[in-house]
């Protein structure tokens, strides 16, 4: 089924915004954060207007209502990723915090000096730095699955790394720079065969593809609401029950305890054990509304639309002399096109495009080692979502020709 994009765009008020008089925004930066539909904005607005109260604490109507809304959103998120139970979905601030939660709890309880953790060269800093910190503290070893010139993981090297019996394999489902969609089920199965636990950074996949944690058989999975039409300030960690139950708590404080004495405490049950303090309640409600919106359209339909836009964008970008797009062909990637252009600094490209309202990101996109691998400090990156159009791609292309004119 194809997407009625012009109807969908009406749900996103910001897409009508003029960023300068007469200059409408062309938003091509959804990989950094997605825009929000009215239903999400209104769900949060309604929550504050009608139901605001703290959760899990009161017996009054508002407290019961806000608790129910917070928990209903968790149920929706669990169903969205096909988690066996909502108890396995822990609210965090974002993907970064979800990965840090695993690093601070599971990893510190289970990894010792010399243990091997496998990552990849295409990781976002949020799946590198927590492990660097653990390596410095514990003396764990880090090894990396290399990235090939065409932006794929070198699975032959992965096979030889697995022979060294790693304890953990933590990797991105979809690269935020190359767009590469990694064969997660296969990587996870092979990690399990070698006896390793797996972490999937799904920050870029859950918003764009149908992701099923049971089909993947993944142990932990991290994602953020703000990249999937939801608000900032909230994300989730999915985990297998036995692992989550055996893990020590993360942050200590209210709500994460069953009982506290002056000299001891007993942690709460899942998922509350990992949710200390007053959480982002309105944001959870917005997260649930975002999942409703995505479901109302269908993830297969969204993925098909993004594929069509990406294929078109790559075709048009590759026509431009002096422009190099990084990453694999459209059939192996999501809606991301990172490129360098004729020696013009990516920030200059982004700045000139901005004059026409075209919003892209320039820089290392929190993936410095990957840029280093390709021998470049930065790229310009256009990215797409369900509201992106071919017309917007055409504007991007016109803008790049303008950059060529400016820089001669």
Binding footprint of ligand C6P on the chain (CB under 6 A): 31-32, 94-96, 124, 126, 172, 176, 201, 203-204, 224, 361, 365-366
Among 370, 338, 378, residue whose Cα is nearest residue 144: 370
Closest CB to ligand C6P among 44 and 370?
370
Residue 366 among the catalytic residues: yes
By C-beta, is 146 or 233 nearer to ligand C6P? 233
Q: Of the two residues 66 and 126, which places its CB atom closer to ligand C6P in the complex?
A: 126
Interatomic CA distance for residues 170 and 352, integer angstroms: 37
In Å, what is the CA distance from 407 to each residue of 88, 307, 330? 53, 32, 29
- Looking up tokens 């997260």 gives 287
Helix (H, G, I), strand (E, B) or coil at 265: strand
Q: In this complex, which beta carbon is closest to ligand C6P, that of residue 126 or of residue 198? A: 126
Q: Which helix (H) or strand (E) holds 27?
A: strand 26-27
Nearest to 223 by CA among 144, 277, 294: 294
Minimum Å distance from CB 362 to ligand C6P? Answer: 11
Q: Encoding tokens for residue 367?
A: 């993936």
CA-to-CA separations, 265 to 135, 270, 277, 324, in angstroms, rounded: 30, 16, 15, 57
- Cβ proximity to ligand C6P: between 170 and 389 the closer is 170
Q: Which of 366, 369, 394, 404 is catalytic?
A: 366
Q: Which is nearer to ligand C6P, 51 or 338 (CB)?
A: 338
Partner residues linked to 197 by β-bridges? 168
Cβ neighbours around 130 below 10 Å, total:
21
Question: How far is residue 153's CA from residue 139's CA, in Å, rounded to a whole number?
Answer: 26
Measured CA to CA, the distance from residue 383 to residue 228 in angstroms comes to: 13
| CA pair distance 107, 365, nearest whole angstrom | 26
Axis crossing angle, helix 281-297 with helix 299-318, rounded to the nearest 10? 80
In this structure, what token pair is assigned to residue 4? Answer: 């009625």
> Of 125, 108, 182, 171, which Cα lies nearest the Cα of 148?
182
Distance of closest approach, residue 365 Cβ to ligand C6P, in angstroms: 5
To ligand C6P, the closest distance from the beta carbon of 361 in angstroms equals 6
Short-list 71, 107, 53, CA closest to 271: 71
Residue among 124 and 194 whose Cβ is closer to ligand C6P: 124
- Residue 179, sorted as left (phi over 0), alpha (psi -120 to 50) or beta, turns out to be left
User: What distance in Å separates the CA atoms of residue 224 and residue 127, rounded to the nearest whole number?
Assistant: 14
- The token pair that represents 159 in the structure block: 């096979």
Q: Catalytic residues, which ones?
A: 366
């Amino acid at each position: 089924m194809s997407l009625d994009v012009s109807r969908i765009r009406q749900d996103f008020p910001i897409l009508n915004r003029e960023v300068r008089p007469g200059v409408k925004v062309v938003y091509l930066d959804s990989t950094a954060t997605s825009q929000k539909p009215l239903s999400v904005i209104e769900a949060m607005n309604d929550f504050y207007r009608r139901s605001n109260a703290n959760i899990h604490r009161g017996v009054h109507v508002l407290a019961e209502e806000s608790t129910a809304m917070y928990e209903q959103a968790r149920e929706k998120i669990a169903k969205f990723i096909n988690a066996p139970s909502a108890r396995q979905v822990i609210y965090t601030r974002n993907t970064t915090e979800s990965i840090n939660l695993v690093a601070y709890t599971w990893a510190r309880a289970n990894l010792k000096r010399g243990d091997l953790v496998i990552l990849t060269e295409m990781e976002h800093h949020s799946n590198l730095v927590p492990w660097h910190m653990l390596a410095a503290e514990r003396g764990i070893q880090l090894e990396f699955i290399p990235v090939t010139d065409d932006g794929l993981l070198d699975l032959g090297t992965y096979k030889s790394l697995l022979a060294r019996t790693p304890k953990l394999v933590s990797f991105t489902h979809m690269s935020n720079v190359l767009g590469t969609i990694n064969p997660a089920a296969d990587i996870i199965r092979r990690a399990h065969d070698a006896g390793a636990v797996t972490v999937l950074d799904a920050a870029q996949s859950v918003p764009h593809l149908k992701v099923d944690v049971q089909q993947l058989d993944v142990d932990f999975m991290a994602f953020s609401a703000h990249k999937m039409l939801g608000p900032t300030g909230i994300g989730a960690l999915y985990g297998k029950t036995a692992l989550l139950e055996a893990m020590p708590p993360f942050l200590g404080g209210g709500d994460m305890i069953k009982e506290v004495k002056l000299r001891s405490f007993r942690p709460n049950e899942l998922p509350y054990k990992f949710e200390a303090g007053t959480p982002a309640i309105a944001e959870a409600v917005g997260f649930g509304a975002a999942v409703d919106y995505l479901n109302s359209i269908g993830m297969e339909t969204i993925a098909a639309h993004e594929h069509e836009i990406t294929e078109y964008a790559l075709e048009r970008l590759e026509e431009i002399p002096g422009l190099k797009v990084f990453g694999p062909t459209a059939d192996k990637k999501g809606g991301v096109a990172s490129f360098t252009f004729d020696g013009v600094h990516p920030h200059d490209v982004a700045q000139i495009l901005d004059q026409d309202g075209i919003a892209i990101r320039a820089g290392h996109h929190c993936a410095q080692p990957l840029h280093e691998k390709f021998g470049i400090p930065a790229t310009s990156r256009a990215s797409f979502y369900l509201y992106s159009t071919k017309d917007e791609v055409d504007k991007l292309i016109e803008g790049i020709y303008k950059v060529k004119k400016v820089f001669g």
